[in-house]
């Protein structure tokens, strides 16, 4: 089976991990600092805080910006559940903004209309979480304009988008967001096994997230409630978590980060090749805005209305042919957990219509051209 995504682990990556296993630090230590510096450098971020997953990073972002009961967080339905769950962890409520049918990202027009109505109803969100779906950046300048006008915080979920560029700058500078979150799960562009980073231009926010990732415990005398009686002493000053990344994971990540440009280049080349080879089939191919350079985490096609087969049939037949297609995403609001909160099918029709036609094709740096040709051939047989 050709998978839809696969990590690329080199002999050098393995050597770096082994070196950590033979060193003094297994949990958060010098390799985490090296990894954070590598991510900050690549993404133009002033501060990068590494944690054990992007889910944890989203939670810390919400905590650091004081999301709590009575507050509202809005995100896109076309995402992984973690983009929304972070609000529920904090006792806040969630609502969704339907997507743009071309970019498949949260629609800025729908967001503007929804904000206008929410202002009249006195139900404005405190947070908006745009997700750079498939690695394609959202229109962050437009979202930041709305954030200034309506007074909400912006946490970018860039789990798909390390190395993507928005209007010439890397995603992660924080020019248009308070915090940017990256994932290092093995299907993502760079991996640490499990891992996440929260990047921010704000030193105080970074410090608060560092405190929260490690139980809310400090050894810094300046932050303590009482004078330190001795070097053993620490104080818990916030309710934090154990969200630390290990040095074992960070060594893998720091080594992988050296190949970020190679990974991105290969993904771009394969995506352009799909564009060429699939042209003419009854498929809607990925759309790219002129001002966005995707990181190509996913290559998603949509079955055209007149296609001979449904998405469900295509999925089954391609899997039978050894092509590991996947579907991103089941709209979050249709999950049983969210339906229990009052959401249902029909509420975000563009995301729902997209979901019914979507197929993610295999895309990862180790995908060979012969394998890619096999994917294209299987699609051609199916559709023509």
Q: Is the dihedral of CA 327, 328, 331, 337 positive or negative?
A: positive
- Minimum CB distance to ligand PLP smaller for 364 or for 376: 364
Active site residue 188: yes
The SS3 of residue 290 is: coil
| Least CB distance to ligand PLP at residue 93 (A) | 19
Residues 213, 64: Cα–Cα separation, whole Å: 11
| Least CB distance to ligand PLP at residue 340 (A) | 21
- Minimum CB distance to ligand PLP smaller for 79 or for 255: 79
Burial 65-78 (b: 16+ CB within 10 A, else e): bebeeebbbbbbbb
Q: Which two tokens stand for residue 366?
A: 């180790």
| Least CB distance to ligand PLP at residue 82 (A) | 4
Q: Which two tokens stand for residue 183?
A: 């994932």
Residue whose entry in the numeric block shows the structure tokens 């600092």: 33
Contact present, 252 and 17 (Cβ < 8 Å): yes
Q: How many C-alpha atoms does 85 have within 13 Å on its Cβ side?
A: 11
- Minimum CB distance to ligand PLP smaller for 125 or for 196: 196
Q: What is the contact surface with ligand PLP in residues (CB under 6 A)? A: 53-55, 79-80, 82-83, 131, 157, 159-160, 183, 185, 196
The string of DSSP letters for 103-141 reads T-SB-HHHHHHHHHHHHHHT---SEEE-B-GGGPPP-HH
| Least CB distance to ligand PLP at residue 200 (A) | 17
- Minimum CB distance to ligand PLP smaller for 180 or for 218: 180
CA 375: distance to chain centroid? 26
| Least CB distance to ligand PLP at residue 83 (A) | 5
- Minimum CB distance to ligand PLP smaller for 158 or for 278: 158
| Least CB distance to ligand PLP at residue 232 (A) | 34
Residues 97, 86: Cα–Cα separation, whole Å: 16
End-to-end CA distance of the chain: 23
Residues 131, 125: Cα–Cα separation, whole Å: 16
- Minimum CB distance to ligand PLP smaller for 80 or for 263: 80
Active-site option among 114, 117, 126, 188: 188
- Minimum CB distance to ligand PLP smaller for 55 or for 246: 55
Q: How many C-alpha atoms does 309 have within 13 Å on its Cβ side?
A: 18
| Least CB distance to ligand PLP at residue 290 (A) | 24
Residues 295, 31: Cα–Cα separation, whole Å: 25
The string of DSSP letters for 227-240 reads ---STT--EE-S--
The SS3 of residue 377 is: helix
Question: Which residues are part of the catalytic machinery?
Answer: 188
């Amino acid at each position: 089976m050709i998978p839809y995504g696969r990590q690329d682990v080199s002999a050098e990556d393995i050597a770096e991990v082994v070196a950590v296993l033979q060193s003094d630090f297994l949990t958060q230590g010098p390799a985490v600092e090296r990894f954070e510096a590598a991510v900050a450098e690549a993404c133009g971020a002033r501060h990068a805080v590494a944690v054990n997953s992007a889910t944890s990073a989203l939670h810390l972002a919400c905590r650091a910006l004081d999301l709590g009961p009575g507050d509202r967080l809005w995100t896109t339905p076309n995402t992984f559940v973690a983009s929304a769950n972070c609000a529920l962890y904090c006792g806040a409520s969630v609502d969704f903004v339907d997507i743009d049918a071309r970019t498949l990202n949260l629609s800025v027009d729908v967001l503007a209309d929804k904000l206008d109505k929410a202002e009249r109803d006195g139900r404005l969100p405190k947070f908006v979480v745009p997700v750079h779906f498939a690695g394609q950046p959202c229109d962050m300048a437009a979202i930041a304009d709305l954030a200034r006008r309506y007074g909400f915080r912006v946490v970018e979920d860039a789990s798909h988008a390390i190395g993507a560029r928005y209007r010439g700058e890397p995603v992660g500078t924080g020019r248009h967001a308070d915090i940017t979150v990256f994932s290092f799960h093995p299907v993502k562009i760079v991996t640490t096994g499990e891992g996440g980073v929260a990047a921010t231009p704000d030193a105080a926010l970074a410090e608060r997230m560092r405190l929260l990732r490690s139980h809310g415990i400090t050894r810094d005398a300046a932050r303590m409630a009482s004078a330190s009686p001795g070097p053993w002493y620490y104080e818990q000053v916030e309710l934090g978590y154990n969200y630390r990344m290990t040095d074992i994971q960070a060594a893998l990540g720091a080594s992988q980060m050296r190949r970020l440009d190679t990974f991105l280049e290969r993904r771009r080349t394969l995506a352009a090749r799909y564009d060429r080879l699939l042209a003419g089939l009854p498929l809607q191919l990925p759309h790219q805005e002129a001002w966005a350079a995707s990181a190509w985490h996913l290559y998603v096609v949509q079955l055209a209305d007149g296609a001979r087969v449904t998405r469900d049939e295509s999925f089954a037949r391609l899997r039978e042919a050894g092509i590991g297609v996947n579907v991103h995403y089941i709209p979050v609001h249709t999950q049983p957990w969210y339906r229990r909160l009052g959401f249902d099918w029909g509420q975000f029709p563009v995301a729902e219509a997209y979901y019914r036609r979507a197929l993610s094709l295999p895309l990862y740096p180790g995908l060979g051209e012969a394998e890619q040709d096999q994917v294209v051939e299987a699609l051609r047989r199916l559709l023509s």
